[in-house]
Amino acid sequence: RIEKLENSICALPKLVILDLRACYNLEVLPDDIGSLENLIYLDVSECYMLDRMPKGVADLSRLQVLKGFVISQSDDE
Protein backbone atom coordinates (compact mmCIF):
# COMPACT_ATOMS: atom_id res chain seq x y z
CA ARG A 1 0.00 0.00 0.00
CA ILE A 2 2.30 2.70 -1.25
CA GLU A 3 0.85 6.15 -0.65
CA LYS A 4 3.97 8.22 -1.22
CA LEU A 5 7.35 7.73 -2.84
CA GLU A 6 10.13 9.03 -0.65
CA ASN A 7 12.54 11.63 -2.03
CA SER A 8 15.35 9.11 -1.57
CA ILE A 9 14.30 7.44 -4.83
CA CYS A 10 15.55 10.58 -6.56
CA ALA A 11 19.08 9.65 -5.48
CA LEU A 12 19.13 6.92 -8.14
CA PRO A 13 20.46 8.81 -11.17
CA LYS A 14 20.87 5.62 -13.22
CA LEU A 15 17.21 4.61 -12.82
CA VAL A 16 15.75 4.06 -16.29
CA ILE A 17 12.33 2.49 -15.61
CA LEU A 18 9.93 3.41 -12.82
CA ASP A 19 6.89 1.15 -12.94
CA LEU A 20 4.31 2.15 -10.32
CA ARG A 21 1.41 0.50 -12.12
CA ALA A 22 -1.47 -0.49 -9.83
CA CYS A 23 -0.20 1.41 -6.79
CA TYR A 24 -3.83 2.26 -6.11
CA ASN A 25 -3.12 4.37 -3.01
CA LEU A 26 -0.23 6.39 -4.42
CA GLU A 27 -1.06 10.06 -3.86
CA VAL A 28 2.17 11.92 -4.62
CA LEU A 29 5.44 11.59 -6.46
CA PRO A 30 8.57 13.29 -5.12
CA ASP A 31 9.03 16.93 -6.11
CA ASP A 32 12.65 16.15 -7.02
CA ILE A 33 11.68 13.51 -9.58
CA GLY A 34 13.34 15.67 -12.23
CA SER A 35 16.73 14.61 -10.89
CA LEU A 36 16.18 11.13 -12.38
CA GLU A 37 18.09 12.25 -15.46
CA ASN A 38 18.14 8.82 -17.14
CA LEU A 39 14.47 7.95 -16.61
CA ILE A 40 12.89 7.00 -19.92
CA TYR A 41 9.76 5.11 -18.77
CA LEU A 42 7.28 6.11 -16.06
CA ASP A 43 4.09 4.09 -15.59
CA VAL A 44 1.44 5.38 -13.19
CA SER A 45 -1.44 3.38 -14.68
CA GLU A 46 -4.13 2.54 -12.13
CA CYS A 47 -2.71 5.00 -9.58
CA TYR A 48 -6.19 6.34 -8.96
CA MET A 49 -5.27 8.61 -6.05
CA LEU A 50 -2.52 10.39 -8.01
CA ASP A 51 -4.10 13.64 -9.17
CA ARG A 52 -1.08 15.72 -10.12
CA MET A 53 2.44 15.44 -11.46
CA PRO A 54 5.21 17.33 -9.71
CA LYS A 55 6.80 20.17 -11.68
CA GLY A 56 10.04 18.18 -11.82
CA VAL A 57 8.53 15.90 -14.47
CA ALA A 58 9.20 18.70 -16.97
CA ASP A 59 12.93 18.24 -16.29
CA LEU A 60 12.92 14.59 -17.39
CA SER A 61 14.51 15.30 -20.76
CA ARG A 62 15.00 11.62 -21.61
CA LEU A 63 11.48 10.54 -20.67
CA GLN A 64 9.93 8.76 -23.65
CA VAL A 65 6.93 7.04 -22.09
CA LEU A 66 4.50 8.38 -19.50
CA LYS A 67 1.71 5.85 -19.09
CA GLY A 68 -1.53 6.21 -17.23
CA PHE A 69 -1.68 9.88 -16.35
CA VAL A 70 -4.60 11.85 -17.73
CA ILE A 71 -3.59 15.46 -18.35
CA SER A 72 -7.15 16.75 -18.28
CA GLN A 73 -10.63 15.40 -18.45
CA SER A 74 -13.70 17.10 -19.81
CA ASP A 75 -16.61 17.58 -17.42
CA ASP A 76 -18.85 16.28 -20.21
CA GLU A 77 -17.41 12.77 -20.03
DSSP string, 5-60: --GGGGG-TT--EEE-TT-TT--B--GGGGG-TT--EEE-TT-TT-----GGGGG-
Count CB atoms within 10 A of the CB of residue 36. 25
Identify the pLDDT of residue 74: 57
- pLDDT per residue rounded down to tens, the chain (77 residues): 899 999 999 999 999 999 999 999 999 999 999 999 999 999 999 999 998 899 999 999 999 999 998 666 556 55
Could you tell me how far CA 74 lies from the centroid of its own chain?
22
What pTM, to 2 d.p., does this model score?
0.86
- Answer for the pair 23, 47: CB distance below 8 angstroms, yes or no: yes
